[in-house]
Each structure stands twice: as structure tokens, then as C-alpha cells.
Structure 1
Amino acid sequence: MTVGLAAVLAFCLALILLNLASVGIALWRTWPRRRPYPTPAPAPGVSIVRPLCGLDNFIEETLSSSFTLDYPNYEVIFCVARANDPVVGVARRLIAQNPRIPAKLIIGDEKVSANPKLNNCVRGWDAAAHGLIALADHNVLMPKDYIQRMLAPFKPDVGLVCSMPLGSHPQNPWAELECAFLNTFEARWQYAAAAAAGGFAQGKNMMWRKEVMERGGGVRALAAEIAEDAASTKLVHAQGLKVALVDSPFEQPLGRRSLRDVWMRQARWARMRRKTFPLFYAPEIFAGAAVPAFAAAYAAHLADFGVAAAALLVAALWHVPELVLAKIAGWHGSWRMPFMLALRDLMLPVMYLDAWFVDDFTWRGTQMSVREERSGAS
């Protein structure tokens, strides 16, 4: 065996073992619980701020889940930028149908950045009555123990608890492709990053101790970065505190997606990760199966072995543990998922290069750029 062949095989093996380690961490964090999360006594008050914009798939289900939480002391604050947004009628009807839950709708945003979502949250944050505030996107489907699961990771050294989105209810193959990105790729690697580097915020669900945010300059300070979750991570770490993740992510029902939808969303997130944490983004090229499969193919070529067989073997060693993780965790699975995992990993190197060279993107009709110092979206 030549030195070059040995080096390529060692590189390939190291990436496979790293991938298996990330699967193991995710399995440990998402292993199904036998008992529901308990409600602390006394139960601290929680304000749930949900920025709204437009009528997404499953909007009735996701917003109505705000009112079915098994928790004794919380309020719901819906925020929408424009009075003519069609989601206003949905929010008002749900508030009227659930009078036992303190809830309000705030119309009109405050322009603190180029980020429409952050602008939409500011007045809701200011109106929150409690010392624990959850910023939750409108497309999050909240389980009944949502608050308990967000409260569970809080320790004295934790300033912020987050949950990444978990893709569910896909209604076409491209939505299943998004599940392949969100679930066994992004959620898994975020758990691994938290174990290795202390945790990074994800803007889909963020529960704050209000005093932590205020010490860092308040909610308007999140305009300091292109993404409010990146700004949140830095604000918390600057105080010597950690960002913690829930043990099992909350669902985002997807419905139907187009390939363009999936590409634009994932490319946007990649560009923002590159902008806000470039040193952590740099090794992402090794997070998918494409690089180790190529390395295995090259090693097979050097050894005069079957190139295609070597690449397929590495892909199987990479993707079968992902499928096992999804099965055990109860995440979406179907006969299409092995093909979606392969397609995802073929897209990842292109997306990786795109993130280094492309700065502009469109988010909900707003033209934005990672070149701007005070903007964001997630």
C-alpha cells in the first residue's frame, strides 16, 4: 500500500467515524422519553412571541397549537407588520376562540434592522409581561409540553434555550428533500456542535431569560448581525453563558415544496452561517457524504478496485446510520428518503461554494445581502 493510498483511506475513515459520532450524539439527545416533561413548581410565567407573515402551509394548526399548551402560566403575543396581511384574520379568530389564554395581536413593526422578522418581534418583546420570553416562528407546531421542554435545559450557566426545526408532514418529494436537510443533517450536526463548541442559537425557537437579553443591550441589539440567531449566540457567549438545545426538536409541518424553495432556503442559511461564523462554516464541506465518497472512489482507483462500489459503500456507511436515527427518534421516513439523502449530499458541495461567493438573497419578498452589517433573517 502506498503512502498516498493510506492517507486517502485514513482521511475517508476519519470522516466516517466523525459522522457516526454525530449520529451517536443525536441519538443520545433525541432518545424517546417514557415520561412527559414535568411542570416546575412554582411555574414561572412565560411570554410566547410569534411573528406572523402571510399564510403558510398548516398555518391554522401551527398557530392554534399556541393555545393548547399544558402549562398554567403563559401568554401569547402575535405580531404582524401590516394590517392587511391575510394572517391577521386567522390570529384574531384564534384569540377570540381561546379566551382562557391571555393573548393579544400587535400590528405594526419597528424598523431596527433590515430583518423583517426581527423588526416584527420588537414590539412583542416590549409588551411581554413575563421574565421568560420565547420567540417562536409562526410555522412551529407546538406540542402540549412545549414550554416544559424549553424550560428543562435551563441551568444557572444557560442564558438561552433553542430548538431547531424538525421537518414533518411532507406532501411531495421535494418536501421530503427538505426533511433530509432539516432532520438528520442540520439537527444532527447542531447537536454535535453543541457538544463540541458550547451551542449555537437557532432562530426558529428561542427562549430567553429576559435579564440576559437586557444585559446584552435588549432585543434591538440583535440587529448587530445578519441573522438574529447569530447575534443571540454572540450576545449570550459574551456574558459567559451557554446556548442549550432541547432534547427533541419541534416540528415544522412542510406540506408541499418545490426544489427551488428548498434550494433558496438552504442556500440562504448557508450564506448567513458563512457570514456570521466563517471559521465554523469552513469545515462544513466535510459534513456530507460527497467528500468521503469521492475520497473512497479515488482510493479505489489507486488500488485498482471498483470505483463505483467503493463510493456506494461509503454512502451506505454514511446514510444507513442517519436512517436509523430517524427511525428511533420518530422523525419522518419513507422509501424515498435514501434517495433524498443522496440528492442532498450531492447538493451540499455546490451550496457550500455558493455560500462563499454569493451574498444576496430574497427572504419573504425582501431583498437582502450578507454584506450589510445590520440585517438578518432566518
Structure 2
Amino acid sequence: MLYIIAVAGALLAANTLSLVIAGWRIRSRQDETPSVSARPPVSIVIPLCGVEQFSRETLESALSLDWPDYEIIFCVADKADPVIGVAEEARRAKPLTQATVLVGDDRVSANPKLNNCVKGWNAALHEWVVLADSNVLMPKDYLVRLIAAWRPDSGLVCSTPLGSRPTGFWAEVECAFLNTHQARWQYAGEALGFGFAQGKSMLWRKKILNSHGGIQALGAEIAEDAAATKLVNRMGLKVHLVGGPFEQPLGRRTFREIWARQCRWARLRRVTFPHFFAPEILLGVVPPLSLCVCAASVSGASLSITAVAVLCVAYIPELLLAARKNWHLSPISLVAMVTRDVLLPAIWIRSWLAGSFDWRGNRMVIGSNGSRLEAGVAEPIASP
């Protein structure tokens, strides 16, 4: 009995500690822009594939940065992709920014996103290069915050996405996954010396990556951010995070989309960092709640009071973190967090099973053997 209570208490304590560390580490979106001693020229490479709800807004945000000298390189694999028109419209709306659209596909890896970035990386004119997803909403101080986070021992600076502007319940669940769960644990991990890359925004020094195989080296893993993390660690350098995550507007989401995306990310983590992924089954409220309810049942304590106490200990600090950092909160945020935590064990179990998924019109295959990565790309298929 005491052992069960001790384990549950340890899990809740770890949850609270991670929230405290993240709260200390992450700057609020209302904080002042950090200062930088120099503003070197920067190239921003943005892979595009398909038109999304906020595509026009996010692409125009990339063309509106407060930085004296930077270029934007939009990369598109398929010349028939309608996103080319959106990128051209964004360029016309912001004619003072140096921007180009490159079309073509370099099959250097099993990762379609990485393949799409190769031509942009090769064309980049500047030493500092940012690889940024097209759905990142860049604030005007985007480059200031990336450069300010670079330290003498940095090999890479990146940002996890911050979910915002959700429409509907499942988009709220997506926010609960992205913000107070994934971003929280990533910042807590970095603060404890376990920084890892996130592919949404990655700032590189071109000479560092080129001296270790170039952008093609990021094809060593099926996910380019996992390959980046391992490469930087082999260099004896570190992955650092920006002071606060950059926004990703979500719009409407469905359960099917959330399930597919979270299962895909979980399976990628499982095959690339299995020793870190295995303990993820202990995250969320389900393990400590189950243990505490079991202990209460055996001891004759009130099950309802026990459950409410565990939920308060788990979620009040999480809600406070979101509120203090000015992240998205709504009347159903708590329900979305509980739903997320109910899904976590099922997602973890699903990650250990073999299967395939569609990634931007490509079929990706991941095997069930966690000791190695079995991945491949079939011929492109129609995007859903």
C-alpha cells in the first residue's frame, strides 16, 4: 500500500516539478524582445506542401520580420502544388523582402520534408540558416529571439510549436498536447541538460552542418529533428531553445487528425530515442490516478475525494502555467487536458505496433522492432 502511494506521489511530484521548471525557463509572449549584439544576414528556408487554413498569414509573417538583412526561400516539391500561388501572392504583398520560390524534389532520404529543403539549403546565401515549417506564425522579433538563444556551446537553436486559435473541441485537445504537455516537457528537459531538436524552427550555422555531411546528414533518421539532435550531440555541442515557443495557429481539427498526428510523432520518438520514449507511459494523470484509486479502494478511503485530489494536484499547476505565460485557455481547456491524458496510454501502446502513415502525400512505413528503424517511401499518393 505505502509503495503504491509512494509511486503515485513520485509521479505527481515529477509532473509538478516539470511545470515549475518550464514556468521558470519559458518567457511569456508579453515579455520584452531580447537584445542581440549583432544582426548578421540570415537565410530562412521554408518547405511548402499544400494550402492550409492559415497559409497566407504565416507566409506573409515570414516576409514581415524586423531584421535588416534576410532572405526567404520557399521550397516546393511539386510544380502543380497550389501553394505556389499563395507564396507568389505573399511575395507581391511584401515586395521589399528578398524572397524566391524554388521548385523540385531531391530524393536524398526517406523524409519528404527534408528532401524538399535540400535545394533551399544549397541556395541559401548566408551563414545563418533557419529551417522553418510553413505553419509557424513568425512574430516580428522571430530572428531576434532565435539569435539571442545562441550560445558558445550551441550547435542548434530551435522552438517547439505553441498551439493557438483552436476551433472546436479537438483543436483544444491539440493545444493541450502542444502547449502544457509537449512544450512543457521539452523546456524542462533542456533546462536539465537533455535538450533535443524540434523541426518547427531550427537555426543552424551553415558551416557547422556542412562540415558534418551537410543537410543530407539529417536523413540519417526518418525525422530530421531526431537526426539533428544526435548529430549535434556527437559534435559535443548542445541543442538550445528560444526563450519562448513560436505560435502555430490551429483552426479546426478532427479526432482522426489528432490521433494520426500524435501516433506518428510517438512512433518516430519510439524508433529514434527508445530509451527516452519508454518511460512516456508514466506521463499524464492516468498512472497516478489509477494507483491512488487502487490504494483508496483497498484502504476504504473515498474514491471520489481521492480522484478529485489527484486531478487538482495534476491540473491546477498546468492551468497556472498556461495562464502565466499567456497561452491559450478556454472554458473547456481542462476537459481537453483530461482527454489528452486519457489518450496518452493508447498512443504509447499504438507506437509499438508496426504500420504506415501518410506524410504530406508520401507513405511512410515504420516497423515494430524498436531496436532499429525500418522506413521507406512509396510512390506519392494523394494528400487527404
Alpha-carbon distance change, 323 to 64 in structure 1, aligned in 2, over 3 angstroms: same
What is the rounded CA distance, in whole Å, between the counterparts of 2:261 and 2:291 in structure 1? 29
Alpha-carbon distance change, 56 to 149 in structure 1, aligned in 2, over 3 angstroms: same
For structure 1, which segment, 171-180 or 300-309, has the greater mean C-alpha deviation from structure 2 after superposition? 300-309
SS of equivalent to 2:183: helix
Q: Deviations over 1:322-362 (max 9, x none)?
A: 11000011110001011011111000001011111234222
What TM-score comes out, normalization by structure 1 length?
Answer: 0.95
Residue in 2 aligned with 1:360? 356
What is the rounded CA distance, in whole Å, between the counterparts of 1:65 and 1:261 in structure 2? 25
Q: Is the 8 A contact 2:161 2:248 kept in 1?
A: yes
Is residue 2:49 matched to residue 1:53?
A: yes
Is residue 2:47 matched to residue 1:37?
A: no
Q: Deviations over 1:53-80 (max 9, x none)?
A: 0011211110000111111111100000
Residue in 1 aligned with 2:68? 72
Deviation of 1:375 after TM superposition, in Å, equals: 5.8
Residue in 1 aligned with 2:380? none
- The code of the aligned residue for 2:196 comes to F
Deviation of 1:312 after TM superposition, in Å, equals: 2.6
Question: Where does the alignment leave 5 or more consecutive residues of structure 1 unmatched?
Answer: none
Question: Where does the alignment leave 5 or more consecutive residues of structure 2 unmatched?
Answer: 368-372, 378-384
Deviation of 1:307 after TM superposition, in Å, equals: 2.2
What is the rounded CA distance, in whole Å, between the counterparts of 1:265 and 1:197 in structure 2? 27
Q: Is the 8 A contact 1:223 1:374 kept in 2?
A: no
Equivalent pairs counted in the alignment come to 371
Residue in 2 aligned with 1:241? 237
Query: Counterparts in 2 of 1:112-131, with a 5 A limit?
Result: 112-131=108-127
Q: Is the 8 A contact 1:168 1:179 kept in 2?
A: yes
Q: Deviations over 1:265-304 (max 9, x none)?
A: 0110000000000000011111211100001111111211
Query: Counterparts in 2 of 1:143-182, with a 5 A limit?
Result: 143-182=139-178
Residue in 1 aligned with 2:209? 213
What is the rounded CA distance, in whole Å, between the counterparts of 1:237 and 1:178 in structure 2? 30
Alpha-carbon distance change, 62 to 210 in structure 1, aligned in 2, over 3 angstroms: same
Report sequence identity in percent.
50
Deviation of 1:102 after TM superposition, in Å, equals: 1.1
What is the rounded CA distance, in whole Å, between the counterparts of 1:336 and 1:343 in structure 2? 11
What is the rounded CA distance, in whole Å, between the counterparts of 2:68 and 2:313 in structure 1? 46
Residue in 2 aligned with 1:321? 317
Alpha-carbon distance change, 375 to 313 in structure 1, aligned in 2, over 3 angstroms: farther
Q: CA RMSD in A?
A: 1.4
Match of 1:16 among 7, 12, 15: 12
Q: Is the 8 A contact 1:62 1:141 kept in 2?
A: yes
What is the rounded CA distance, in whole Å, between the counterparts of 2:192 and 2:354 in structure 1? 29
What is the rounded CA distance, in whole Å, between the counterparts of 1:288 and 1:361 in structure 2? 25
Deviation of 1:86 after TM superposition, in Å, equals: 0.6
- The code of the aligned residue for 1:319 comes to Y
What is the rounded CA distance, in whole Å, between the counterparts of 1:367 and 1:109 in structure 2? 16
For structure 1, which segment, 248-257 or 27-36, has the greater mean C-alpha deviation from structure 2 after superposition? 27-36
